[in-house]
Amino acid sequence: METERMPLVGRDAELGLLDRLLADLAADAEGRPAVLDISGEAGIGKSRLTHELCRRAAHGGATVLRGRATEYERHIPFQPFTDAFADLDPTVHASFPAAAEVAPVATGAARRADRFGLHRATAALLAHAAATAPLVIVLDDLHWADAASLELLDHLVRHPPRARVLLAVARRERQSPAPLTATLLRGTDTGAVRRTVLGPLDERACVERLTPGLDREEAVRLIAAGEGNPLYLLALLQAHREGAPVSRLSTTGLGALLLDELTPLGPGQRRLVEVVAALGDHATPALLAPVTGRAPADLAADLAELTRRDLLRTGPHGRLTLRHPVLRSLVHDGTDPWMRTETHRLAAAALADAGAPPAERAHHAERSLSGWDPETAAVLVRAAEQAADTAPASCAHWLGVVLRHLPHTPDHAVRRRDLMLRRARALGACGELRASRDLLHQVIAMPDPAGEGIGEAVGEGTADGEGEGEGSGGSRASAVVLCAVMERHLGRYSEAVALLRRELHRDDPAPSPADQVALGLELGSSAPHDTSYPTVRADMAHTLAVARSLGDEVGVTGALAVAALGEAYEGETADADTYARQAADLVDSLPDDDLTGLCEQLARLAWAEAFLERFADAERHADRGLAIARRTGRLALLPHLLLCKAHVHIQICRPVSAVELADEAEDIARGIGSDELLAFVLATKAHAVVAACPPGDPRPLAVAEEAVAAAGLGVNWWASIARCMLGYAALTAGDPARAREAVLHAGGPDLRRLQPSMRPLFLEVLVTASVALGEVDVAKDWAQRAREEAERLDLPVQRASALRSTAHIPLGLGDAGAAAELFMAAAEESARSGAQFWEAFSLLLGAPLLAADPDGPRRGRAAWHRGRRLAAAGGSAMLTGLADAVGPAVAEAADGPERRLAELTAREREIAGLVAEGLTSPAIAERLCLSRRTVETHVSRIYRKTGVSSRAALAALIAARPSGTAFSG
């Protein structure tokens, strides 16, 4: 770190920013940034500024945690966060309900966990730690952070803890990896991140405050040589005090100046410095002794001298570090390579003796490898296994190290295939989809060792959790299924289908029946994205038959679920319902412990049921799938299950929870790195956000636009859905032209690319947009097609959509009464399937039209009240906004009867009341002792004043007046 003894010069603006951030943190000010991004070149003062932030925060009563990433330990999972959490009061850990769940981050302990659940648990721990006082957590040198830490940071930027928490990160701009830069820039755009870039120090301030004892001319030359960099200037000043002439110093580089400090050291001191540079954060007096071979007492004098020279510093928990990362890098790289390797070997052995976990030993084990060493390789493999769920990038790295050293000999062939598939799994999980696919191609090209299947060597499962339990009967089939999954995530559906079909038709040797089932199931998942489900209908029938012949319940259920989803998507609802019910019967008959191999099948079944509008069944099966996926680490399946549940929650008018589910799915999709999956996630999120946000909110359109951007130029299902959601969001934002354009683009020629089972809903966007643009004749054609599609599907929500589309036609032509009845019919259809969102939407569209009809004020008011109640109960700001917008018209219409009746004379009110009781004109004349002609004249005047045209309408008008209101008087 930059020296904390050096005065903080020329940073008034930055210090002012710190004070403002801390004041907002203490007050929990609304809209404050959750992250402070401090960037600049090495030695420019980042660590000095973060030290000042920590000092001021602690002075203000905040809890302060400080960690840092290190250059040579960048594959240790969550290292900077674990370093910071080491300073947290143990009682906070003890009182946190999910302490065990967050252990991989908080303490570095290995634990099999859903890494995205780990992110949420970490955010919850931060909020818990900030419950009694503001929390400031500083992460220094984050440009060296491991991939798992960067993924966690990305989560915290996109989902800041709902507490008084400020996360400050310091980094070198030019050395920051692309994911870190992207995270912080995106956070800056959303307001979650405040950024400050440190530049060179001002010459005048340096002369006045840093070099008061120097001749001004000498000081200016030194400052110019240091280029405004505090670290460089400090090294120059130190050398000058030791007698170096200014003329030489002005042309001496920083590296040379720092290495000059090592010149006076004796051999033992120099060795200590080199060992500390190699050990990094593991450098403690207890570890230095076995690594150097010296007794602790012998080390004390040298450590004291090195500390006096400010080459070594003592950090938290007795750890020793070099004064600055630049100095460490120079010493580490300048150490004799053989000596450096031996240092790491001794450190690994000492950590093993101390019982350190494999992940902590893996760094030193890796750097001690100079050839094949089974024991060292075993440490790396164990570390990889422990990191597979929470830090797959570290897992892939350590397995890659072992593979590089593993001899290419026949007796290691099975082991090599095992490691390659494990590494492919890890690469797929951390978003390196192409690297995973390329590695799998290598596995596919390898001959099977005699008598060994890869399923026996590795165990069942695929690289990213999809298709787990499938394809374990042979190495090629397992790798092919896995490779097809990677191709599918990359949007290369044609390649996935070709790969699977080629494998299914191999005859040297032919795939076993078990392999045929595995390959067939993946084909059924991939092909519909490339062409359509009918192209694989025969393949799925064959797969189902083979699975049944094997007595393979998992395979049978999988084939039924694939068929159900395929037919449901295509709108073949009768066949889909049959397959879905058969699959559900099998799934429901099994306890959760027996469903481990059915996780993906549950996702397919749940989606099929969602498309069939069996929402309760869909959510029940999605929940079972989610529980299994979380327990068994099948992370790639979580988005599909989460989005299915989100889709259901949108339909049943629970949009807030739908957004939360979509947010979690988005985290995972971004972690996997699949643009195709991200497009689908964001499209579903856009749908949820439309329902959750009030009218005029820009977020739905922004999310939908990002979904379309992620889909790119694709023409598959997910790309079509993304563009349809853009149309929906644009329509609710008041841009009917853009809405129509988006849906037409999504549908392609004759709208064939629109999902058949949801075409009426998408056609409703076209109808509404066309009516809004004044093109009623065009809207008629779309509405007619919506009715035809809905009739074929025979699904309540789709019929309701077609009814709303039809309603817009008379509405556009001025026939409000006909439109109102169609909207009410749509509400009744929606209610049949429990789709309360669409029920409320239909009611609120129809309520003001009903209320305006002389015969319908009471129905209009009732429709509005039910629609408003459903909207409020579900938390739909869109619907409550619609209700509030039409409410005045409904209320005015509801008040109409009293207002119109008030215009009647006393005699007219009396006669109107008798008409409402059902009396004829002669009967009224007789009761009031009037002539029949006089009564009929009064009735005509009553019709004219109230705007009704019949006795029944007059009776309805009187009945619609507010209850308890006296009428006759």
Residue type, 731: L
Residue type, 449: P
**Cα separation, 665 vs 95, whole angstroms:** 29
Q: What is the pLDDT of residue 796?
A: 96
Percent of residues, the chain, with pLDDT higher than 90: 47
Question: Is 46's pLDDT higher than 50?
Answer: yes
> Highest mean pLDDT range out of 221-235, 270-284, 422-436, 728-742?
728-742
**Cα separation, 365 vs 369, whole angstroms:** 6
Q: What is the pLDDT of residue 456?
A: 33
Q: What is the pLDDT of residue 898?
A: 63
**Cα separation, 530 vs 522, whole angstroms:** 13
Q: For residues 843 and 961, which has the higher predicted lDDT (pLDDT)? A: 843
**Pairing verdict, β 312-314 and 320-322:** antiparallel
Question: Is 473's pLDDT higher than 60?
Answer: no
Q: What is the pLDDT of residues 502-560, one digit of tens each?
A: 999 988 788 899 999 999 999 988 877 777 889 999 999 999 999 999 998 889 999 99
Q: What is the pLDDT of residue 253?
A: 65
Q: In which band, very low, low, confident or very high, does the pLDDT at 1 lie, cut at 50, 70 and 90?
A: very low
**Cα separation, 21 vs 913, whole angstroms:** 71
C-beta separation of 347 from 291 below 8 A? yes
Question: Is 895's pLDDT higher than 90?
Answer: no
Question: Is 489's pLDDT higher than 80?
Answer: yes
CA angle, 87 as apex, 86 and 93 as ends, to 5°?
Answer: 70
Question: Is 469's pLDDT higher than 50?
Answer: no
> Highest mean pLDDT range out of 243-247, 811-815, 888-892, 955-959?
811-815
Question: Is 969's pLDDT higher than 70?
Answer: no
Structure tokens at 635: 């992370």
Q: What is the pLDDT of residue 461?
A: 35
Closest CA to 67 of 44, 87, 43: 87
Question: Is 204's pLDDT higher than 90?
Answer: no
**Cα separation, 116 vs 512, whole angstroms:** 37
Question: Is 770's pLDDT higher than 90?
Answer: yes
Q: In which band, very low, low, confident or very high, does the pLDDT at 61 lie, cut at 50, 70 and 90?
A: very high
Closest CA to 150 of 179, 185, 125: 179
Question: For the chain, what is the mean pLDDT?
Answer: 86
Question: Is 597's pLDDT higher than 90?
Answer: no
Q: What is the pLDDT of residues 644-675, one digit of tens each?
A: 999 999 999 999 999 999 999 998 888 888 88
Collapsing DSSP to helix, strand or coil, 944 comes out as helix
Question: Is 208's pLDDT higher than 50?
Answer: yes
Residue type, 154: D
Q: What is the mean pLDDT of residues 774-784?
A: 92
Q: What is the pLDDT of residue 248?
A: 52
> Highest mean pLDDT range out of 127-131, 279-283, 613-617, 773-777?
613-617
Provide CB contacts within 8 A for 185, sequence distance 6+.
Answer: none
Q: In which band, very low, low, confident or very high, does the pLDDT at 798 lie, cut at 50, 70 and 90?
A: very high
Q: What is the pLDDT of residue 335?
A: 86
> Between helices 115-129 and 655-672, what is the axis angle to 10°?
120
Residue type, 128: H
C-beta separation of 19 from 26 below 8 A? no
Question: To which residue do tokens 């569209």 refer?
Answer: 845
Q: What is the pLDDT of residues 422-465, one digit of tens each?
A: 999 899 888 888 999 999 999 998 876 544 443 333 333 333 44
Sign of dihedral through CA atoms 526, 457, 386, 75?
A: negative
Closest CA to 756 of 697, 798, 805, 815: 798
Q: What is the mean pLDDT of residues 562-577?
A: 94
**Pairing verdict, β 35-39 and 312-314:** unpaired
C-beta separation of 140 from 46 below 8 A? yes
Structure tokens at 475: 């190495």
CA angle, 657 as apex, 655 and 663 as ends, to 5°?
Answer: 100
**Cα separation, 941 vs 934, whole angstroms:** 11
Q: What is the mean pLDDT of residues 733-750?
A: 93
Question: Is 962's pLDDT higher than 90?
Answer: no
Closest CA to 732 of 704, 774, 760: 704
Please indicate, yes or no, whether the overall pTM of this predicted structure exceeds 0.85: no
Q: What is the pLDDT of residue 648?
A: 97
Residue type, 502: R
Q: In which band, very low, low, confident or very high, does the pLDDT at 300 lie, cut at 50, 70 and 90?
A: confident
Strand ranges (DSSP E) for 886-959? none
Closest CA to 695 of 842, 884, 878, 845: 878
Q: What is the mean pLDDT of residues 77-102?
A: 91
Neighbouring-strand partners of residue 312: 322
C-beta separation of 923 from 932 below 8 A? no
Q: What is the pLDDT of residue 427?
A: 92
**Cα separation, 575 vs 567, whole angstroms:** 7
Half-sphere exposure of 400 (CA within 13 A, CB side): 14
Structure tokens at 225: 């040589």
Percent of residues, the chain, with pLDDT higher than 70: 88
> Highest mean pLDDT range out of 67-71, 309-313, 466-470?
67-71
Q: What is the pLDDT of residues 152-186, one digit of tens each?
A: 999 999 899 989 999 999 999 989 998 999 999 98
Question: Is 203's pLDDT higher than 70?
Answer: no
Q: What is the pLDDT of residue 25?
A: 92
